[in-house]
Amino acid sequence: MTALLRAEGLRVALGRRQVLHGLDLDLSERELVGLIGPNGAGKTTLLRALAGLLAPEAGRVTLSGKPLASLPPRSLAREVGYLPQGGGSYWPVTAAELVMLGRMPHLGPWRKPGARDEAAVAAALAATDAAHLAARKVTQLSGGERMRVLLARALAGEPRLLLADEPVSGLDPYHRLEAMEHLRALARDGKGVAVVLHDLTLAARYCDRLVLLDGGGIVAEGAPSDVLSADRLASVYRVRALHGFEGGEPFVVPWDPLVQAREAR
Amino acid sequence: MSARTVLLPALAVLLLFALAGSLLIGPAGLSTPEALLGLFGSERGPAARVMREIRLPRSLLGAMIGASLGLAGAALQGYLRNPLAEPGLIGVSGAAALGAVLTLYTGLSAAFSLALPLGGIAGAMAAVVLVQLLAGREAGTITLILAGVAVTAFAAALTSLALNLAPSPFAALEIVFWLLGSLSDRSMEHVWLAAPFMVLGWLLLASTGRALDALTLGEEAASSLGFRLPAIRLRLVLGTAFCVGAATAVAGAIGFVGLVVPHLLRPLVGHRPGALLPASALGGAVLLLLADLVVRAIPTAQELKLGVVTALIGAPFFFALVLRTRRETA
């Protein structure tokens, strides 16, 4: 499989603080990749650099072989959708209007949205089971409903790759599972999806591949059951976890904080 | 037809009525036919002089300045995603006022008539450079607000210094009266001086509409949709400086229009920042023309200053806003 988005030797600093220390990563279509790691590991910074929102200090990110910096912002926006952490709406617009904002990379400077754009918005709302919310004000939706509308916004631009930063944080168990189902369905339909997750249980179960970050670098990458080994959970997350299978799918439940590991660091 | 589709035509009709009222009502006591003949006829009588040299520039400036304030207020509120932002926030009004006051202080304004507005525009341009330097290359909204507050504070300090050191009480009074904001005794020269700057500013601000819509999702999401926010901010700051700077330069400081108008019209356009721009421009023109009619209609020994009237209308509006915000958050 050829990579759609590729990071090579990516080094990123925020102000004077070095956050990513030269990492390599490939993202392809038709897979759901989980970016995991403890707080401060550099997950969000990595996602922002992959979306072209941060300029790397060294190394580069390429989309189909072309460096992001050389692409016009609008054509990059048509290929790569980005769902920031804790997103929402600053004004009480309707869900349909919010989702239409996702069509902007496709709109000419003074052109109004046309039938093609309306259809994309309707399809995006349908894909996240949010069609019935179209006329509601975004600011009056519940957390789970808002998440589905924001996901629809990112899908409305019909990107080949979706980068989502902690889309399930703040959702209750039902809506977490539902959101992950949506992301997995997108990957099955052919999109590349990379998602930052804190919930290891969801990461283990839904992702095709996990990328474990710690201290600004990748410490493990591969199938969830390989990445989430007891040793790594102890050394990176400083937890002991319960492992198991249910219906053929793996689960990992963090159980005890490892006090000694923290003191040893 | 929905409320949204009739809003712009309705505001345009209101603007025509306000313009007509502004042209036809005044202390000269001309009848409507006399006024129309004076404005459009070929004779050069006193009616023609009143209409063409006094009322027409006053009405045109009122509409242009009101539109500038309404448009810049709507654009800034959209960019900062804050309904309490107003055009003066980024320092251009204060700096334009300072530039104009300096021409009064130095006596330059007495030497030739356009020195004062030119000084105001120079002040606004200086503010842009200073704000851009202070706020840096990133598009952060907090640094923009802080830079604007710093520039405003410094301009206010220097304006106070000019008042403090004014050579005579009359010079000080002249400065204070100018600062209050007014449309009286302006000529077509003022219109022609301000118009190019304002049109340029309107175009720059109008070009940010779509980016303002995208900012509904926040800065990161807007960037990811293909907008270069530092470039958007530059257009916003320059556009505001051109139109609000020119407005302040010809008419003094006129507050609250840029705050109140976008706020009132926002629900009528479904809270969409881009759609608010043209509505707020028309609404600002209507409100300022009406306020100027109030100025002329109320018979006081000293003519009321326009800036005083807009503040008297705007400040209670602010009270209502505070009370409503308190109720909503309680």
Which domains can be identified in chain A, with CATH numbers?
A: 5-264 (3.40.50.300)
Q: Which residues of A touch B273 (CB under 8 A)?
A: 91
Residue positions counted in chain B:
330
CATH number at residue B161: 1.10.3470.10
Q: Do B221 and A80 touch (CB under 8 A)?
A: no
List C-alpha distances in Å: B211 to A99, A102, A168, B330: 15, 12, 27, 33
Q: Which residues of A touch B226 (CB under 8 A)?
A: 72-78, 104-105
Site of tokens 């030497």: B111
User: Which is nearest to A232 in space by CA: A191, A196, A194, A203?
Assistant: A203
pLDDT, tens digit, 9 for 90 and up, residues A139-150: 999 988 999 999
List C-alpha distances in Å: B182 to A215, B93, B105, B208, B254: 61, 14, 19, 30, 8
Q: Which residues of A touch B224 (CB under 8 A)?
A: 51-53, 77, 80-82, 84
Categorize the per-residue pLDDT at A29 as very low, low, confident or very high, splitting at 50, 70 and 90: very high
Question: What CA–CA distance (Å, rounded) separates B59 from B65?
Answer: 10
Res B12: pLDDT: 97
Res A265: pLDDT: 46
**Total beta-carbon pairs less than 8 A apart between chain A and chain B:** 75
Instruction: Give residue B177's identity as a one-letter amino acid code.
Output: F
What is the rounded average pLDDT of the residues A68-96? 92
Res A1: pLDDT: 52
* Percent of chain A's residues with pLDDT above 70: 97
H/E element, A8: strand A5-14
Categorize the per-residue pLDDT at B139 as very low, low, confident or very high, splitting at 50, 70 and 90: low
CB of A102 less than 8 A from some CB of B: yes
CB of A77 less than 8 A from some CB of B: yes
Q: Which residues of A touch B214 (CB under 8 A)?
A: 101, 104
User: Which is nearest to A26 in space by CA: A175, A221, A203?
Assistant: A221
Res B82: pLDDT: 87
What is the rounded average pLDDT of the residues A97-113? 89
CB of B96 less than 8 A from some CB of A: no
Res A260: pLDDT: 63
User: Which is nearest to B39 in space by CA: B15, B13, B58, B67?
Assistant: B58
Domain residue limits at B176:
3-329
pLDDT, tens digit, 9 for 90 and up, residues B41-56: 887 788 888 888 889 9
pLDDT, tens digit, 9 for 90 and up, residues B78-119: 999 988 888 888 889 999 999 999 998 888 888 887 888 889
- Identify the residue among A45, A74, A79, A91 best suited for mutation to test binding to B, counting B beta carbons within 10 A and taking the highest: A91
Window A:191-230, CB contacts with B under 8 Å: none
pLDDT, tens digit, 9 for 90 and up, residues B204-229: 999 999 999 999 999 999 999 999 99
Res B136: pLDDT: 78
Categorize the per-residue pLDDT at B33 as very low, low, confident or very high, splitting at 50, 70 and 90: confident
Q: Do A77 and B216 touch (CB under 8 A)?
A: no
What is the rounded average pLDDT of the residues A236-262? 85
Q: Do B226 and A74 touch (CB under 8 A)?
A: yes
pLDDT, tens digit, 9 for 90 and up, residues A143-198: 889 999 999 999 999 999 999 999 988 788 988 998 899 999 999 999 999 999 99
Chain A residue with CA closest to B213: the answer is A101
Helices (H), chain A: 43-50, 73-79, 95-100, 115-127, 143-156, 173-188, 200-206, 224-227, 230-232, 259-264
Residue A109, pLDDT > 90, answer no
Q: Do A81 and B220 touch (CB under 8 A)?
A: no
Q: Do A73 and B227 touch (CB under 8 A)?
A: yes
Q: Which residues of A touch B220 (CB under 8 A)?
A: 48, 53, 82, 84, 87
Residue A250, pLDDT > 70, answer yes
Question: ipTM of this model?
Answer: 0.90
Closest CA of chain B from A110, distance in Å: 9
Res B134: pLDDT: 87
Query: Which of B152-156, B245-249, B322-326 shows the lowest mean pLDDT across its residues?
Result: B322-326
Work out how many domains chain B is built from and give that number.
1
Closest CA of chain A from B203, distance in Å: 13
